[in-house]
Structure 1
Amino acid sequence: MKINAVFEGGGVKGTSLAGAVQAAENDGFSFHRVAGTSSGSIVAALLAVGYSAEEMRHLIMEMPFSSFLQRAPIFQVKWMGPALRLLLKKGLYSGERLEYWVHQRLLEKGVRTFGDVQPGRLRIIASDISNGRLLVIPDDMKQYGIDPNRFLVSRAVRMSTSIPYFFDPVIIRHSFQSAVRKSKPFNKQFSYIVDGALLSNFPLWLFDEDAACGEKNCIPTIGFKMVGNRENQPHRISGLLSMLQAIFGTMMSAHDQRYIEKHDEYRTIKIPTLGIGTTDFDLTLEQNMALYASGLEAGTNFFKEWDFRKYKEIYQNFYR
C-alpha cells in the first residue's frame, strides 16, 4: 500500500526516522510522496531517489556526523576563531561537507536536480529570513527566478538543515530578470535561507489535498515525529555555543512536545529520541543504533494498531 510521508526535523536524532521507515516497509508500505524539514529532509530525499530502508540504515550508521563540523585553520583559534567566523560567515560551520555527502549519495542513484525526480514526489521545507517566509522547495524557487527542475536537491537539503548560527545560511541571488522585473536594488537581490524548522518543523499539512479520501482514491499521509523528554537533562549553558545549541534545540522540540492536534494523532508516529540532543554531533555507534531501534519499535507498534478504514473515516469527516 502507498502512503505519503512527512519527516520532522531533529538534527542528529534523524537516525530514528530511518528505523521507522524500516517498520513501514516491513509492513508492506511503499512511499508515494515524501517531505521533510531539517534532518527529515535528508531521509525524504534518500527515499525519493530510491533508497530502501535497509540501504538507508547502512548509510546513516556510517554517516560521518563529526566531519561536517570542520573549520578552516584560521577559524580554529580558541574563542577568537569561532567568534570571527560567526561575524564573517554568520555560522560556526559551513555546511558544505553535509551538502557534498548528500550530493554523492544522490548521484549514486543518478539524481542531481529536482528535474531528475518524479514531479511532486519530493518537497523540502526551508526558511527565507530575508523575506520572512516559509519555502516549499522546489515549488517556491520560481519566486527567485530559478527553474525548480534545475535546482540541486542537495542544495535544498543543505538549506533545510542550516541551523541558524551553527551552519552558514545559504545565500540565494535572485535571477537578473527577476530582480529587474521587481525593481530590486542590488543589496535586496539576495536572500538568506536557513533551517526549515525555524518556521515549520513538522509540516504534516503539506499533503492535505491527498487526505480528503474519496471512495476509490485515497493515499494516506503519515507523519514521522521525534519526541523526547529532556526534563531530567536540562541544557547546560556555559558559553555562546552551548547557548545557541540550547536555543535551537528548544525551538525544534518544545513547540510540538506537549500538543499534537487531535485529528493528527492517528497519522503520527511518535519516536522516542532517548534524551539525545539535536546538535550532539559526537554520537557513538551505540547511540546511533539505539535511535534506529527506537524508530523501528515505534513504527512497528504504530502500524500494528493502524487501520486504513478508520483512517478514511476520520479524514473523510474532517475534510468535508
Structure 2
Amino acid sequence: MGGMWSSGYALPTQPPPPADLDAEVNKTDYADLAKYDWPFENLVLEGGGTKGTAYPGALQVLEDVGILQSIKRFGGASAGACVAGLLSLGYKPGDIAALLNLDQKSITDDAWGGYLSLLPNFLRMFGWNPGEKYLSVLKMYVEHKTGNPDYTFKQLYDDKKVELCIICANVSKKGIEYFHPKTTPDVPIALAMRMSASIPGYFQPKVIEIKGRKHYYVDGGMLCNYPIHAFDGWFLSLRPKDTFFKKLGTEEDPFDRPTGEPSGDPNVRHRHETIGMVLYSTDELDLMKVGTNTRDLAEKATRQRPDTPLAKLRGQMMDEVKSEVDRKSQVIHAAQSLFRSFAENDLNRDGRISLTEYQRAMKELQSRDPTSVRVLFGDSFDMDASFTELDYNEDKMVTATEFMTFLENKGVVSPLEYILDVSNTPIQSLQDYIGALLSTYDVSSQRQYVKASDSERTIGICTDYISTLDMDMEEQDKIFLRKQGRSGTTAFLREYAKKCNIPLKTEE
C-alpha cells in the first residue's frame, strides 16, 4: 500500500559510498575558473524539495574551482537546510548525491497504514508522516562525522569554527526562527534539519516543549525559502561588537545588507561575502527575479532532457508553458511601450485617451516601435478599427481598464500580472496542486526577504520539468539535474568574474 513502510527496505546504518560525479562531467568546461581569487565565505541554499537533487552538481563546480573549501558559514531552508547541514559537517558533493540517490520515499514515508492513516494522522497529529525515519537518517549522518547523533550548533562552531544557520517556521509564534550557534547553541543539528524540512500535511510538525509551552515547527521554506540575508547585518554575527547585549535595543537593521569592496579588515563585512543558490522549474521562469541567465539556461535545459517517463510526461507541458511565458514577455513589453505613448499624449492628463490622442500616440509608436504595434494588433493594423475595438464603453474614450480587458480578451496576460508576479502553473494532479501551493509560499517569501540587489549574488539553477515533489525520478533524471546545477553555477561564476573584476590568485 502506498506510503507504508517498506518491509524490504532497511534504513542505512552508515552513509553509502560517494557518487562518482567526475564521470558525469568534462571539467575542462570550467577549469579556467579556478584561477580566480573568489571572495565568498558564506553559502546559502534555497529549499526546493526534490529539485535539490541539482545541488551536488553545482557544489562540485564550487569545489573544483576552490570556492567550497573557503566557505565558513552555511545556511538554508527546507531541502537546502539538509544540504547546508551536511556540508557544514564536512560531507562532499559526492556524498550528498549518494544520499539523494537513495529511495527517498522509503526514508520520508513512515506512516503505518499508508494512505489509510492520512486522515486520522492529520486530525490527531496535524500531518501524515511522523518523520522519525528521516530524523534517524540525519542523525546517522551527523554521528558518522562527529561520533554524536545529537551534535549541536555550538559544538560544530567550537570544533570547526563553522557556522550553520537553518531556517524553521514556528507556527506557535507565527514567524521564522534562525537556528545558529548564536541563537540556539544547544539544539541538535539533525533535529533542526528535520524541522526545516517538515512540509505541512506531508510531515507532522515537530513539537518542542519550551518552559511548559509547546512549539510547533514546520518547513522553514513556508515563510523564508531563500534566506540569502541570513549572514548580513549583526543578528547572526559572532563578532564581539555584535553581541545581543550591545545590539538589542538599537535601531540598527539586524540584517542590513553590506556594501562596498573587501577592505582586508576581518571585522568589516562586505557585499561579496555571500553566494546563494535558487532552484526553478520552467513553469516558474517568469517569477525568477534573481539568478543569472535564467532564460538562456531554460533554453539549454530543453535541449538536454533525458529520455525518461517523467521527462516525456512533463516535457511537452513545460514547452507549452515556456511558449506562453515568451508570449507574455512580448506582450508586456508591447503594452508598456504603448502605455508610455498614451501617457505622453494624454494632453489634458485626465487618464483617458480620446480618438485624437490615440491617433497621435499610435503614429508615434508605429514610428518608434512598430514591433509592439504588430504584437498587439497584428500585421494589418487599422487606426480607427483598433480604437473601436478598445472602446468597450463606446464613449469615444479609452481607459487603462479597457486596454487591459482588450489584452485579456485576446488571450494574453494583463500587465498587472507582471507587476504582481503572477504566473500560471499547470495543475493536473494532487501532486501538481501541492507543488504549486509550495511555490506560492516561496514567491510570497521572496517578496519579503529577497531584494533586487540579491540577484548579483545568486546562482540560478533551472530544473526544467522537475518540480518540488518528484520522488519517482530515475537515475537519468537525477544526472540531468546535476548537470543543470553545473551549468547554472558555471554561467554565474563567469559573469560574476567579469562584472566584478575578480582578481587572479597570487602565486605562493
Shorter-normalised TM range: 0.7 to 0.9
Higher normalized contact order (CA 8 Å, seq sep 6+, divided by chain length): 1
Q: 1:66 aligns with which of 91, 105, 111?
A: 105
1:182-235 deviation digits (Å, cap 9, x = unpaired): xxxxxxx11111111111111111112384444114562001111222274544
Match of 2:174 among 129, 132, 135: 132
| 1:87-143 deviation line (CA, Å, top 9, x unaligned) | 1121121222222111111211115222331156100001011111210003586xx
Selected match of 1:101 from 128, 137, 144: 137
Tell me the residue number matched to 2:469.
279
1:22 equivalent to 2:60? Answer yes
Deviation at residue 282 of structure 1 after TM alignment: 1.8
Distance 2:218 2:56 in 1: 24
**Whole-Å Cα distance in 1 between the matches of residues 232 and 501 of structure 2?**
13
Residue in structure 2 matched with residue 293 of structure 1 by the alignment: 483
The residue that corresponds to 1:190 in the other structure is: 214
Shift of 1:40: 0.3
Q: Which moved more, 1:20-29 or 1:244-253?
A: 244-253
Q: Contact 1:269–1:299 (CA<8 Å) still a contact in 2?
A: yes
Per-residue CA deviation, residues 52-97 of structure 1 (Å, 9 max, x unaligned), is 223323333x3331113434443543xxx31112111211212222
Hey, what does 1:236 align to over in structure 2? Answer: 427
- What CA deviation, in whole Å up to 9, does each residue of 1:15-34 have, x standing for no partner? 11221111111111121111
Matched residue, 2:228: 204
* Alignment match, 2:86: 46
- SS of the residue 2:263 aligns to: coil
Maintained 8 Å contact 2:110/2:133: no
For the 8 Å contact 2:156–2:163, the answer to whether it is kept is yes
Q: Partners in 2 of 1:42 and 1:201 — Cα distance?
A: 13
TM-score for the superposition, normalised by structure 1: 0.80
Task: Give the aligned residue type for 2:179.
Answer: I
Q: How far is 1:237 from its partner?
A: 5.0
SS in 2 for 1:44: helix
Equivalent residue letter for 1:302: F
Picking from 132, 149, 153, the partner of 1:114 is: 153
Q: Which sits farther off after the overlay, 1-10 or 28-37?
A: 1-10
Aligned residue identity for 2:104: F
Distance in structure 2 (CA, Å) of the matches to 1:97 and 1:7: 23
Residue type matched to 1:208 in 2?
Answer: D
Tell me, yes or no, if the aligned pair for 1:23 and 1:297 is still in contact at 8 Å: no
CA distance in 1, matches of 2:472, 2:82: 19
Distance in 2 (CA, whole Å) between partners of 1:229 and 1:269 is: 16
- CA root-mean-square deviation: 2.7
1:161 maps to a residue whose letter is A
Residue 252 (structure 1) aligned with residue 300 (structure 2): no
Offset of residue 279 of structure 1: 1.4
Structure 1 partner of 2:30: none
Distance 1:254 1:287, change over 3 A: farther
Contact 1:113 1:153 in 2 (8 A): yes
C-alpha contact 2:168 2:177 (8 A) present in aligned 1: yes
Distance 1:261 1:87 in 2: 38
CA contact (8 A) 1:9 1:39 kept: yes
Unaligned runs of 5+ in 2: 1-37, 234-256, 285-316, 319-424, 503-508
CA deviations 1:269-320 (Å, max 9, x no partner) are: 00001221211222222211111111011111211222398289xxxxxxxx
Who is 2:280 aligned against? 227
Q: Secondary structure at the match of 1:306?
A: helix
Query: With structure 2 as the length reference, what TM-score do the two structures score?
Result: 0.52
**Stretch deviating more after TM superposition (277-286 or 190-199):** 277-286
SS in structure 1 opposite 2:145? coil
Q: Which amino acid aligns with 1:286?
A: Q
Shift of 1:256: 4.5
Larger strand fraction of residues: 1
Structure 1 gaps of 5+ residues are 142-147, 180-188, 313-320
Aligned counterparts of 1:272 and 1:104: Cα–Cα separation in 2 = 31
Whichever residue aligns with residue 225 of structure 2, its letter is N
Counterpart Cα distance in 1 of 2:486 and 2:98: 14
Corresponding residue of 2:198: 162
- The whole-number CA distance in structure 2 between the counterparts of 1:284 and 1:158 is 25
